[in-house]
Structure 1
Amino acid sequence: MAGTSKLLGLFCALSSAVNAARGPGEFHYGAAFGSPFNVATDCNDINLISPELLMNWGPDNRNDATINVCGNSNIKFMPTLWGRDFDNPQLSALPNSPRPFGVFLENEPNWFGAYSPDHGVGCNLTAQQCATRYYTETNIINQKFGVGTVKLFTPSPVNPTYPKCTAPGQYGCTYEDQIAWFRDYFAACPNCLRDAWAINHHEYSCNLATTQANIQRLWANFGNKNVFVGELGCDGPSPTVQAQYLRDFVAWAYTQQYVVGFIWAGLNYVGSQGAQLTSNGQLTAVGQAFKQIQQQYPPKLTP
């Protein structure tokens, strides 16, 4: 049943260009869920939402390849690599076929705060440590699958509208601005900027104007890179408001040359306010918005 699923209410987008912005009209939708994955129950939820791409952000996602994305040949799988807790042999053991469509490289040792290396409990790697780790992992991925075959996403530092860094400085918690973090990160690893397909940004402002300003600020500072909203959320005040925020965001992002996609992550689990599904497997207002958006703004693949 959907009530046992770990499926998030969410979406994501990718393209095949590595260093250039996406082509006109290119846009992709997907879904993300957290481990553990139950093939007996969760595939029903995944197929109901019918994402083009499926991302697993859970700590046990490394070898399951999302159970071949439920046998659905229309869905591509994209894993998350957990920096400090993910060693090179595990990375090398990722299945070659089907190869991942995209890979998030992250530096958390556990799922909590996974995409955020510079606030709260996420302060466990400095920008320099993260760059070193990313450089090594990128090389393994390129050797395994071929340069540019797998799309690589940067980690995401502190969100401008999220609680600021609170952990001790020795854990890398010395930044309160994502631009400063990225500058140190890319200075420590120029190849990380070159090899990254997109900069990963998290956005929970629940305000379209603020969302636009935050994304445009990243683009202005790192204008040769796509921006991917790895977490886009709106925690309230109601599913109806969340659904409208999602519609408004996509209507804007779909027209932007440098915004290559997003993952909706308002709240974590099926049955929660921001999810796409109710606990009995019905589409929520957010889930209905997802279906409507796909029709109004159809996903477009790379030529």
Structure 2
Amino acid sequence: MMIRRTWWLGLGLAIGCGSTPGDGDSDGGSDASTASPASGTETGPASGTETGPATPTSTGEGPGTDPGDSTDSGGVDRSSCKRGIAYGYHSHADLAALAPGVSWWYNWAVPPDPDVGDYQALNVEFVPMLWGGGSLDQDPPIPEGARYLLAFNEPNFGAQADLTPQEAAALWPQVEAVADAHGLEIVSPALNYCGGDCNKTDPFEWFDEFFAACPGCRVDHLAVHWYACTRDALTWYIGEMKKYERPIWLTEFSCLDAEDKSVAVQKQYMQEALEYLEAEPSVARYAWFSGRWEATPTVDLLGESGALTELGQQYVSAPASCP
């Protein structure tokens, strides 16, 4: 079962929990361009293990045919494309539907989804994740062809990885050992604002303390989540994250912190967000949440098996820079 919560924070202070009262421009909040709105949701482990839903990436071009080649039929190097998806229940048909526009996905776990089959034939990269501290004890095999390793999911949340910055720093040598053994680049713990049951509310405070406790740790990329619904709010958040001087992976985002979460609202926000994310050089990768999510189906990219929703069609067909 997937566990999710949504909340809204304004000016860095939690003013609500367990609800979705709105974005930074409404419901008592201030404009995201001048304040520090925050928002997020939680994805919990699937099936009682430290996993969750899976994520494919985007390319903006058609899928290639050579499983060992990252270049598609149009000559675009898909490994440089940013667009992905956070989802954990892919079938091969689902991934094939997304493959023309995404280049990677993750599922909050180390192994890919069992029903996805030969995803490499679709030229869609899978990125494994060490969801929490317990993942380090399981020693599951890293999938062949992996290039990156995602670390702990929302560790400032009690319902997620639930690790203080100091606890995460103490575990980091084990994360590095896994990455070094397989030649992987390391993506930081994925942080978001927390609105209840938190060891840290503010993701910037968590990151500051983590890097202070782990000054020699190898962290090649920075992972963040965001669920506010305006381009200004997203721009503010990514802009503030630049201070850590690492390529940014926005590994969960969609419009959840608004009263109106209709498909029309999702489409408008997606268009604005993708235009910004594709053009912003500090953003290395991003992943929409999610493929199918019963709590808010208006964010779904997938309908029936192997079929894209209207939103999914927009996500797959949107222009991609693929630098």
TM norm structure 2: 0.67
Unaligned runs of 5+ in 1: 1-5, 14-25, 107-114, 168-172
For residues 34-49 of structure 1, the aligned pairs below 5 Å read: 34-35=88-89, 42-49=91-98
Cα separation, 2, equivalents of 1:89 and 1:277: 31
**CA contact under 8 A between 1:9 and 1:269: conserved in structure 2?**
no
Pairing of 1:180-195 with structure 2 (within 5 A): 180-192=205-217, 195=218
Say if 2:180 is the partner of 1:153.
no
> Is 1:99 the equivalent of 2:148?
no
Q: Which residue of structure 2 aligns with residue 232 of structure 1? A: 253
* Residue 253 of structure 2 corresponds to residue 204 of structure 1: no
Q: Which residue of 2 aligns with 1:77?
A: 126
- With over 3 angstroms needed to count, the CA separation of the structure-2 counterparts of 1:166 and 1:73, relative to structure 1, is closer
**RMSD of equivalent CA atoms:** 2.9
Report Cα offsets for 1:221-267 as digits up to 9, x if no partner: 31x21111111111352112212211211111222221112110157
Deviations 1:147-169 (A, max 9, x none): xxx2321112332xxx52325xx
Match of 1:16 in 2: none
Which residue of 268, 271, 285 maps to 1:244?
268
What does residue 179 of structure 1 align with? 204
Equivalent pairs counted in the alignment come to 246
For residues 1-303 of structure 1, what are the structure 2 equivalents within 5 Å?
11=57, 26-35=80-89, 42-50=91-99, 51-58=102-109, 61-62=110-111, 69-70=118-119, 72-88=121-137, 90-91=139-140, 93-95=141-143, 98-106=144-152, 115-122=153-160, 124-142=162-180, 144-146=181-183, 150-159=184-193, 163-166=194-197, 173=199, 175-192=200-217, 195-219=218-242, 221-222=243-244, 224-235=245-256, 236-265=260-289, 268-269=292-293, 272-279=297-304, 281-293=306-318, 296-300=319-323
Letter in 2 for 1:135: P
Return closer, same or farther for 1:277/1:31 CA change in 2, 3 Å cut-off: same
Q: 1:100 to 1:164 in 2, by over 3 A?
A: same
Contact 2:221–2:247, Cα closer than 8 Å, also in 1: yes
Structure-1 separation of matches of 2:221 and 2:264: 30
**Percent identity at matched positions?**
20
Q: Secondary structure at the match of 1:82?
A: coil
How big is the shift at 1:64?
6.5
CA deviations 1:126-184 (Å, max 9, x no partner) are 11111121232113311x123xxx2321112332xxx52325xxxxx1x2211111111
Larger RCO, structures 1/2 (Cα 8 Å, 6+ apart): 1
CA distance in 1, matches of 2:132, 2:250: 19
Q: State how far apart, in whole Å, the 1-side matches of 2:160 and 2:132 are.
A: 12
- Whether the 8 Å CA contact 2:221–2:249 is kept in 1: the answer is yes
Structure 2 residue ranges without an equivalent (≥5): 1-51, 60-79
Residue in 2 aligned with 1:17? none
Q: Output the CA distance in 2 between the equivalents of 1:54 and 1:9.
A: 3
Contact 1:156 / 1:199 at 8 angstroms: preserved in 2? Answer: yes
Q: Is the 8 A contact 1:12 1:264 kept in 2?
A: no
Question: Per-residue deviation at 1:65?
Answer: 8.0
TM-score, normalised by the number of residues in structure 1 = 0.71
Q: Which amino acid aligns with 2:211?
A: F
Which structure dedicates a bigger proportion of its chain to helix?
A: 1
CA distance in 2, matches of 1:12, 1:178: 26
CA distance in 1, matches of 2:116, 2:291: 24
CA distance in 2: counterparts of 1:94 and 1:225, whole angstroms: 24
Letter in 2 for 1:94: I
Equivalent residues of 1:117, 1:158 under 8 A apart: no
